[in-house]
C-alpha cells in the first residue's frame, strides 16, 4: 500500500474523530454558557466551528485523493453527511 492509499484509509478516521470532538466542544460550550462563563463558551464554540471547517477540508482532501478505501470491513461507511 502506498502513501496515497494509506491516506485514503486514514482520512475517514480523522473525519470521524473530528465530528466526535466537535460534539464534545459544543456540549462543553453549552455547559460553560449555563455556568455563566460566556467567554469560555464562546471560545469552545469557535473551536467547534474551526473543527467543522477542518472537516470540510479533510473531506475535500479525501475526494481529491480518490475517495475512501475500505480496509477489509474494519471500518464502516457513513453516508449522508
Per-residue pLDDT of the chain (81 residues; tens, 9 = 90+): 899 999 999 999 999 999 999 999 999 999 999 999 999 999 999 999 999 999 999 999 999 999 998 765 555 555 554
The number of residues making up the chain comes to 81
Q: Which of 28, 25, 34 is nearest to 53 (CA)?
A: 25
CA-CA distance, 17 to 19, in Å (whole number)?
5
Q: Which of 21, 19, 23, 43 is nearest to 32 (CA)?
A: 43
DSSP 3-state assignment of 80? coil
Q: Do 41 and 33 contact (CB within 8 A), yes or no?
A: yes
In this prediction the pTM is 0.75
Amino acid at each position: 500500500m502506498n502513501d496515497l492509499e494509506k491516506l485514503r484509509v486514514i482520512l475517514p478516521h480523522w473525519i470521524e474523530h473530528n465530528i466526535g470532538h466537535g460534539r464534545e466542544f459544543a456540549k462543553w460550550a453549552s455547559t460553560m454558557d449555563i455556568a455563566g462563563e460566556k467567554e469560555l463558551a464562546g471560545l469552545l464554540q469557535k473551536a467547534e466551528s474551526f473543527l467543522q471547517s477542518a472537516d470540510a477540508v479533510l473531506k475535500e482532501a479525501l475526494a481529491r485523493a480518490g475517495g475512501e478505501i475500505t480496509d477489509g470491513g474494519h471500518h464502516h461507511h457513513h453516508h449522508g453527511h
